[in-house]
Every structure is written in C-alpha cells, then in structure tokens.
Amino acid sequence: MSMIIAVNAGSSSLKFQLYKMPGYEVLVQGNVERIGLESGQAVIKYNGKKEVVQDVFPTHKEGVDFILKVLLDYHIIASLDEIEACGHRIVHGGEYFNQSVVVDDDVVSKVEELCELAPLHNPAHLIGYHAFKEALPHSRHVFAFDTAFHQTLDKERYLYALPYEYYTDLGVRKYGAHGLSHQYVSQQVIQHLGNPKRSRIIVCHLGNGASISAVEDGKCIDTSMGFTPLSGVMMGTRSGDVDPSIMPYLCKKLNKTAQEVLDIYNKKSGMLGVSGISSDSRDVEQALFKEGNERALLTGLLYARNVSKYIGSYVMELGGVDVIAFTAGIGENVPYLRALIIDDVARALGCHIDVALNNQRSDESRVISLPSSQVEVMVVPTNEELVIVRDTVRLLGINEGE
C-alpha cells in the first residue's frame, strides 16, 4: 500500500487529495482558500464528512502546515512517513518541460528561473514543494506542468508578432496555463459525447485565475493565456489583455517603474481593480445582489464580455463548437456569471441555458443547456489532482492496481 498526495497550489488557494494505492482511493481532499487575505478558510472532506475551518493563511507555507496537521489530527494517517510520494502542479514549465518530471535540483532550478513568467504561481508552488519536502524527507516528488497540454499549439498560434529572434533567443512565445484542468475537463466532455473521433470543445477554466482553451479532437489548438498567466481574460487580481502602450503611459503619469506597473496588472487589477471590493467573486456577488453595487454589476458584465469574446474567436478557429464547458471555482459555482457569458453568445451560437439547471448546485458533471440548444453547455468539476497523481504513479513506477 502506498500513499500519494497531489498538491495543486493556485495563486490564492491550495487544493490537495490524498490517494491510497493501488486503486486510486481518495482518503481525503480539501482546499485552503483565500490565502493572503485577511480571512481564510479550509474545507476538508473525508469519510463522508465535510469540515469547514476558518483561519488566516498569510502564505502557502501556513496552508501546507495546516494540511499535514489535518492528516494526523483527523487520524487519516498514523504518520507522515506513510506518504510515499508528492505530485505538485507547476504553472509554468517554459520550453524546458513538455511533460511531467521527477524532481531533482536541476528541475527546481529551472522552475525558479521561470518564476518571472508566473510571478503569482511558480513561487507559491516552490514554497509548497519545499514545505512538503521538509516535512516529508523520505518522499519522492513529481512536478506536473500546466503548460504541457498546450505544447500542441501550432507555431502561428503561439508566436507573437515581435522580432523572431525574441522567440529563438529568449523563448518569448505563448505557453498557456491551467493545462491540467483543460486536459481533464476536455477528456470528460469527450466521454460524455460518447468518445467520438471528432469533437470541438471550448473549456472555460474560470477561477481566481482564468483561461479559455479550444480543444479539437482532444488536442489543444489555442488558449487565452500567453507568455505568462497575466494575459487573456480578466481574473481575480490580473488585468488580462490590455494595450501594451498603457504600460509606459502609467509609468509616466504615476511616476512608477515598469515592474511596479506590472505588479498593478498582476495584483491590483481584474475583479479587484474594477469592483474596488475584492478579488473574490463571492464578495463581488454579495455586493451586487445584496447591495445593488453598480461597480459589482459592471465587474460581472465586463468579466462576461471578456470570456464571451474568446469563446467567439475559438468557435471560428474550431469551425463550430459541440460543447462549452465551465470549470474551476467561478465556472463551477457562480451561476449568474455563467448565464451572463452564455447570454453574450446566445444569439450567434443558438445556445441557451436552462435557468433551473444552471442554478442547481452539484459536485457532478452536468448539462445546463436546454434540449433545444444548438450547443451543449456543461459544468464539469475539474480534477487536476487526479491528472497529477496519475503522472506521479507512472513516473515513479508505483503500482496503480485496477
């Protein structure tokens, strides 16, 4: 028997699942949320129970310490020595990594080098890795990269219209992110469709970070995030796409350096910047429906318009679409934003949401569109951790059982 923990650190969250092998039995799963905010919480599910703990998690290190304490205090494991391996999600692998790898010093060094390309994520991943490595010195570790699923993009889709040597000499190109989620969700949708040879799927991974992908016949052909996870649609604190000329303009007007303005793009923009309320969609939603806050309404409308524009462009690239799938924290749990997004594309695509189905809460994959809709709309809870642990099992030669 082996224990494997899959670790998925987002920019403000830390999800995990502990698996017992062989057989991929999930013993416990949880999510430490709102890391870095004044009030945080952790949701732990085990033995049919659900525990919600309110606490403050200044950094991902405190989140890791909390998780390991839970495993012992809840008697899920008798000793940390029972955990044989850890699989870690890493957002940015650059051109170094096109698949998951066993961790060594060289791998860690390369991920550190790539921190400037994913400043909200790669540093958090490394904090988590080092914390788990310190607490579990006997365990082996695997890094699974979010950029790997997007390595199938054609050159005309991943290149920027910059001097070509910036790509060849400096590696400046589109890399994408959330690949583990896009891979899992698109595979689930293909199974739902009956495993056809041809399929056209648009996956909307909408969380504190957000990205859209176009998946044709199981292969990613385009995605919204680019050189870093800053580009694409607006997010919790990230601006998404903006005119590059805004950078020098703000530097001059605000007397700030380029790095200071970039920090604003990454940490003070998006939902937080537009609403002036919070980077958390739940806070914005509360301000909208309980207070009628106008900027909260504007935030929702702008967010939906950002996403719907990418959906429209990917319909053109795919030559049509069979399924639009929503996933991640917002995609799975915020019905009014799903409704706004689909409403934006309904006239062009002939797709329509069933209001009752859209408003239902469920942990299961489900269709939320009307039977008459020309395009199916689905909610598919993502499971990046399962993708991570499968790669960990494969690379470390652990018996996976049935």
In this structure, are residues 186 and 382 in contact, taking their beta carbons and an 8 Å threshold?
no
Query: Would you tell me the crossing angle of helices 122-135 and 105-113 to the nearest 10 degrees?
Result: 150
pLDDT of residue 162: 97
How far is it, in rounded angstroms, from Cα 299 to Cα 280? 12
Assess contact for 41 and 31: CB atoms under 8 A.
no
Q: What dihedral do alpha carbons 276, 230, 218, 397 form, nearest 10°?
A: -110
Positions of the chain with pLDDT lower than 70, given as ranges = 1, 400-402
2-145 placed in CATH 3.40.50.2000 = no
β-pairing, 40-46 with 49-55? antiparallel
Q: What is the pLDDT of residue 292?
A: 93
Distance in angstroms (rounded) separating the CA atoms of residues 131 and 133 = 5
Query: What residues have CB less than 8 Å from 68, skipping those under 6 apart?
Result: 80, 135
Active centre residues (catalytic): 146
Q: In the structure, how many helices (H) and strands (E) does the chain have? A: 15, 14
Distance in angstroms (rounded) separating the CA atoms of residues 190 and 200: 9
Domain spans, the chain: 2-145, 195-379
**Cα–Cα dist 399/134, whole Å:** 25
Residue 53 belongs to what H/E stretch? strand 49-55
195-379 has the same fold as 2-145: yes
Angle at 388 between CA 66 and CA 23, to 5 degrees: 95
For residue 74, the 8-state DSSP code is T
Q: How far apart are CA 63 and CA 198, in angstroms?
A: 42
Q: Which fold has domain 195-379?
A: Nucleotidyltransferase; domain 5 (3.30.420)
Check if the beta carbon of residue 56 is closer than 8 Å to that of residue 43: no
φ and ψ at 277, to 5 degrees? -110, -60
Distance CA 395, CA 61 (A): 26
List, in order, residues 6 or more apart from 173 with CB less than 8 Å away: 95, 158, 159, 160, 167, 227
Q: Supply angle C-alpha 375, 377, 382, rounded to 5.
A: 140
Structure tokens belonging to residue 71: 């495993």
Indicate the pTM of the whole model: 0.85
Task: Give the span between the Cα atoms of 216 and 222, in whole angstroms.
Answer: 9
Q: Distance between CA atoms of 104 and 217, rounded to whole angstroms?
A: 34
- From the list 176, 68, 55, 79, the residue with the least C-alpha distance to 121 is 176
CB 206 within 8 A of CB 340: no
Q: What angle do CA 351, 236, 170 make, to 5 degrees?
A: 100
Backbone angles phi, psi at 243, to 5 degrees: -60, 125
CA distance 346 to 340: 10
| Alpha carbon separation from 337 to 16, 19, 157, 229, 326 (Å, rounded) | 26, 33, 28, 21, 10
